[in-house]
A and B are shown apart, each in its own frame.
Chain A
């Protein structure tokens, strides 16, 4: 399968709460990326974390990377209804230049 594993598959929270999404992968990576997709739209690149980085911040987003466990997490703090979307982790395929996406987490933030 091209895809990595993401959990949860779906997440429903109240506005103001934090949302955490996890991603696991099986091969070595140079970097890991997170994307967001609003329903019926294209994807938007959120953040890239390199393999030698452990944590990265961008606004309300916090991404961590644990290469020993081959996992990453995306934390959205103080969530808003507008954060409702699907979130995907992605990585380059082994030895190549193709970006492979995880299964995604569907986040629903209730106002």
Chain B
């Protein structure tokens, strides 16, 4: 199946700093990628849809200035958590769509962010 690589797998940072998470589709071109956030023992909550060459579409309640998304190429989307605070600590997972018609997704391995 398609491979999506996410980096870093975990990061610890101080409050107030910014953290960038990368998501790459390794063997296919993904015009659309999705960023999810997951709290412990809970489901995935869609944060935003990342579109190559255009602005990301954010879900209601997600601060676009807080979670900056850039999709500069067909294989790379980045999520930057700006001025991170402890409440931003979470598991962030990216996914790439192979077929928008079916909704089938290929996921990265996730990034565990801990803000001290």
Contact = CB atoms under 8 A, between A and B. Distances in A.
Given A45-B1, A102-B43, A92 B103 contact: yes
A90 B102 CA distance: 11
Interface in B99-116: 100-110, 112
B93 interface: yes
B103 A99 contact: yes
Contacts of A102: 43
Contacts of A35: 105, 107
B43 A97 contact: no
A88 B36 CA distance: 14
Interface of A: 2-3, 30-31, 33, 35, 40-45, 48, 88, 90-92, 97-104, 106
25 contacts: A2-B46, A3-B43, A30-B103, A33-B102, A33-B103, A33-B104, A35-B107, A41-B110, A42-B4, A42-B6, A42-B107, A42-B108, A45-B1, A45-B105, A45-B106, A91-B103, A92-B103, A98-B34, A98-B46, A99-B97, A99-B103, A99-B105, A101-B44, A103-B43, A104-B42
